[in-house]
A and B are shown apart, each in its own frame.
Chain A
Amino acid sequence: MNKILEVKDLSVSFDTYGAEVKAVRGVSFDLEEKETLAIVGESGSGKSVTAQSIMRLIQMPPGKFVNGSILFNGEDLTEKPEKQMENIRGKEIGMIFQDPMTSLNPTMTIGKQIAEGLIKHRNMSKKEAHLKGIELLKLVGIPTPEVRINQYPHEYSGGMRQRAMIAIALACNPKILIADEPTTALDVTIQAQILDLMRGLQEETGTAIILITHDLGIVANMASRVAVMYGGKIVETGTVDEIFYHPKHPYTWGLLGSMPKLDIEEEELQVIPGSPPDLADPPKGCPFVTRCPYAMSACTKQMPAYTNISDTQKTACWLLDDRAPEVQIPESAIVGGSEINA
């Protein structure tokens, strides 16, 4: 498999009044051709900032790259001039945002919004782009695309808008599609349709997908590999099977434990108590230490290094150190069959 994207030790900060918020603190991962990598984590874990950094969509200032590189086809995207970035965006990397209600321009027809990228990157005429737009709308499952293409976003339902967003993002056959919580704002039945659509299109076009989500059900359905982010760092990464069946990090346990289960009767939904760290003043050690039931003194002092569990799984936790006490994975985090296939 070929790596098409390598993120190495990426750190992104935001200058705010009085403090520098370190949103992403040394994140490394690769993306291989045609695979789906899920980045999971709760709000504020840095997953969206990571994704938008790849596209260079972070406003700079206040945002800035502190460290690291993003290698796409061997070129570092963090150092590319803005003009050259324009030829990457839309053409090589497409992006879908969380809320389809706000991610389309309300005063422009869907057709024009699809055509823009085609005209810019594929040198199409307006007419060609219009016809290609109809084709794309048909591809993403919009009925009567000849009519719909001339409509405005407010004439579309939420699900249809997200379909139109997918059509925009995939218009120029990008090598990578970044989907930043693509189904969070949609209701559950539509979610499944959109995910099916994305999977189908991936098979057809061979696009690699970076899927950002906090919904582990979606991860199980879509991804081949998973990176778990917490406090601006990747705390654990591995294949879907490894993350679901052999998780090693207490935060991953917590996430798995918070999934509602159908086969066990629960009085209340499980949560991870506490809240994520303040990234304006990030902890010196492991960011999860304040919420971790297994925290030790070492955890507060230094961030643990990655331990290679297998060729594909890496975990950053002091519990994996030889000197640490043996800890059993809590029962709540043991995944049965039911929720994976949900």
Chain B
Amino acid sequence: MVTYILKRLGYIILSLFFIITITFFLMHAAPGGPFASERALTPAIEAQMNEAYGLNDPIHVQYLDYLVSAFTFDFGPSFKYVGQEVSDIIRRGLPYSLVLGLEAMFIALAIGVLLGVIAALKHNRFGDYTAMIIAVLGISVPSFIMAAVLQYIFAIQMQLLPIARFETFAHTILPAVALASTPLAFIARLMRSSMLDVLSTDYIKTAKSKGLGQRVVTYRHGLRNAILPVISYIGPLVASILTGSFVIEKIFGIPGLGNEFVVSVTNRDYTVIMGTTVFFSVLLLVSILLVDLVYGLVDPRIKVAAKGDKG
């Protein structure tokens, strides 16, 4: 087990190296720089700024500096916001995105799995059609439209929930639902098809032939086997949902992390780009690792430890 995890951590560092390298060169290949703005600086000032932030160094020196700073998680100051460290920016936005993301994850998983199971059990009947209509809507309606519709119904018409900002729990409900709608729909469809597969297997017949009731058969024998594809989907989902959504944050006026991802790129704020990229990648790679470990717990056929020890 330990060998396996160490090996996987090694892979994570290797992947990070490639991600950082590619990001660095893409970033520099894009025209413009952090100090290019509408109000042109005098050449002297610009040269001085470039010198101060190390942008005059040859590209390979800059690249090495970057690698070092990335692996020490010290990304330095933002180019754009004077006096702010990259880590401050992430630390400032993360709590909002984290709360929102966790709430959305919970909604997407709970309701998605439930809808999928109902659809599978009521296959080709009313319950199935209803659940699948919800799922198709969730997938095909873009989140910004979903957000606007939710705001209109629940905040303006019914006056039940606050329309924007992030202050109390009530404020988080609408953005979390809007953020959850797409993954919810995806999980529902995933769950439905895998549950249908599982319900037609022989071991479900065996379970029934023992005289177990419908509910026990579905939940004890069906669910655990059917949920495996959903678990593998959770890995990438965690990373993307916890780091916030630019669109949802803009609409609901939430100072989350999603905003920083987009703004840092348009600003060519090199250190912030690198910081957010590394942060996202680490989150993604670690959550994929965790999902793999959980997979081994749910499905005894997958022997995480044995594979790692051998190879």
Contacts and interface: CB of A to CB of B under 8 A. Distances in A.
Nearest to B300: A152
Interface string B290-311: 0000000011110000000000
A117 B225 CA distance: 20
A89 B203 contact: no
Contact of A97 (B202, B212, B225, B300): B202
A89 B208 contact: yes
Contacts of A55: 208-209
Contact of A105 (B207, B209, B214): B207
B174 to A, nearest CB: 38
Nearest to B205: A57
Nearest to B222: A105
A319 interface: no
Given A86-B213, A120-B212, A103 B206 contact: yes
A154 B203 contact: no
B225 A105 contact: yes
A87 B225 contact: no
Contacts of B225: 105-107
B211 A89 contact: yes
B245 to A, nearest CB: 34
Contacts of A105: 203, 206-207, 221, 225
Q: For chain A, give the interface size range.
A: 20 to 34
Nearest to A86: B211
Nearest to B200: A59
B210 interface: yes
B206 A117 contact: no
B204 to A, nearest CB: 8
Interface in B176-221: 201-203, 205-214, 216, 220-221
A99 interface: yes
B208 A57 contact: yes
Interface string A102-118: 11111110000100110
Contacts of B298: 107
A103 B210 contact: no
A86 B203 contact: no
A88 interface: yes
B92 interface: no
A55 B210 CA distance: 10
B211 A106 contact: no
Contacts of A83: 213
A95 interface: yes
Contacts of B91: none
Nearest to B224: A107
A83 B215 CA distance: 12
A254 interface: no
Given A107-B299, A152-B300, A102 B210 contact: no
Of A116, A121, A168, most buried by chain B (CB within 10 Å of CB) is A116
A165 interface: yes
A56 to B, nearest CB: 9
A211 B255 CA distance: 69
Given A57-B208, A108-B221, A120-B210, A103 B202 contact: yes
Of A85, A97, A107, most buried by chain B (CB within 10 Å of CB) is A107
A82 interface: yes
Contacts of A89: 208-211
A120 B207 CA distance: 12
A3 B216 CA distance: 33
A91 interface: yes
Nearest to A94: B209
Nearest to B301: A154
Contacts of B208: 55, 57, 89
Contacts of A108: 220-221, 224
A90 B205 CA distance: 12
Contacts of A165: 206
Nearest to A87: B211
A177 to B, nearest CB: 11
Given A107-B300, A154-B300, A154-B301, A102 B211 contact: no
A109 to B, nearest CB: 8
Contact of B202 (A102, A117, A154): A102
A89 B301 CA distance: 29
A99 B209 contact: no
A120 B206 contact: no
A198 interface: no
B211 A117 contact: yes
A169 interface: yes
Contacts of B201: 102
Contacts of B212: 86, 90, 116-117, 120
B221 A117 contact: no
A267 B207 CA distance: 46
Interface in B216-239: 216, 220-221, 224-225
B210 A117 contact: yes
Contact of B209 (A57, A102, A107, A121): A57
Contacts of B210: 89-90, 116-117, 120, 168
Of A105, A116, A152, most buried by chain B (CB within 10 Å of CB) is A105
A99 B211 contact: no
Given A86-B213, A103-B205, 18 more contacts: A52-B205, A83-B213, A85-B211, A87-B211, A90-B211, A90-B212, A99-B202, A102-B201, A103-B203, A106-B225, A106-B301, A108-B221, A113-B206, A116-B207, A116-B212, A120-B211, A154-B300, A168-B206
12 contacts: A57-B208, A57-B209, A88-B211, A90-B209, A90-B210, A106-B203, A108-B221, A116-B207, A116-B212, A121-B211, A168-B206, A168-B210
Interface of A: 52, 55, 57, 82-83, 85-91, 94-95, 97-99, 102-108, 113, 116-117, 120-121, 152, 154, 165, 168-169
Interface of B: 201-203, 205-214, 216, 220-221, 224-225, 298-301
Q: What 5 A-B pairs come out closest when comparing CB atoms?
A: A90-B211, A89-B211, A90-B210, A103-B202, A117-B210
